[in-house]
Amino acid sequence: QMAADAAAQLGLIFHLFCWQEEFLQNVIEPFTRVYQQGGTPNPCIFCNRTMKFGRFLDAALELGYDGIATGHYAQVRFDAGSGRYLLLCAQDGAKDQTYMLYSLSQTQLARTCFPLGSMTKQEVRALAAEAGLHVAAKHDSQDICFVPDGDYASFIEQYTGQSSEPGDFVNKEGKVLGKHKGQIHYTIGQRRGLGISAPESLYVCGKSLDTNKVILGGKGDLMSNYCYINDINLIPWNHLDKPIQCKVKTRYRQPEQPATVEQLGDDLIKITFQEPQRAVTPGQAAVLYDGDMVLGGGTILSEEAAAKAVASTN
């Protein structure tokens, strides 16, 4: 409704599309599936790739428009030398959203405009207020749009009609420390809500789907020297022909970290961190940066999935 009101105030044509089935198939289904497979997905990335820059862009082109403009804080530039469109960070680093956009294709980038990419949030609000838009003072959205209360585990159980099966908390040696409520209730690095008394703080360090165990350990057990990613999208090139030095984010709010990146197969990249990283989580994205340019990224694999992927490339 807020979008319709803003369009009316500005005298713009407003189109309303009903894509509930597509949203279920492209966003909610993979969201629930990744959790049930032991990962921690980022549904905003699914939505950007398939809905906002997928179905919505297709609809715009079908209606005769040249492309779309969105309110994401990012920038696009065409590089004449390579003939490719590049994704660049927003000038307002605190609002930069390129982590969520790494999976956009060349076609999607070519047809997209990010008018807020060179502005700060304060400047955007000031322009909206000057135009008399009611959304000028609207609060920033924080939660997953379809799980507004943040209780994603209950949402998954209600959506699938399946309760997550309780099992054992164990340490690295396999000693049982207590009972968990079901694997979807926990994510790598989690400390609160475990219900386990111990002399030192315990953190979720891993999950075993085969045995339905959640593995707990100390802070040191959360550190990773490397990870593997698949579902790769590279932006300045189609393929990495040799290892490169760049910086990597494995979480949206994480500062970029130096790493060596090497492509091992058509859909497999190894990332070796210069310094061990905390709580590198399967299902999340690892996004590669060179200065303010996004090189691409992929989905972090679990140890088991990574071992299978590496074996298949040999």
Instruction: Tell me which residues are annotated as active site.
Output: 47, 145
Spatial CB neighbours of 117, under 8 Å, sequence gap ≥ 6: 72, 73, 74, 75, 76, 88, 90, 91
Hey, which residues does 261 pair with through a beta bridge? Answer: 244, 271
- What is the token pair recorded at 185? 């209730």
CB 167 within 8 A of CB 179: yes
SS3 282: coil
Give the span between the Cα atoms of 99 and 102, in whole angstroms.
Answer: 6
Nearest to 204 by CA among 221, 226, 229: 221
- What is the token pair recorded at 181? 């409520």
Give kind and range of the element (H or E) at residue 306: helix 303-313
The residue type of 199 is P
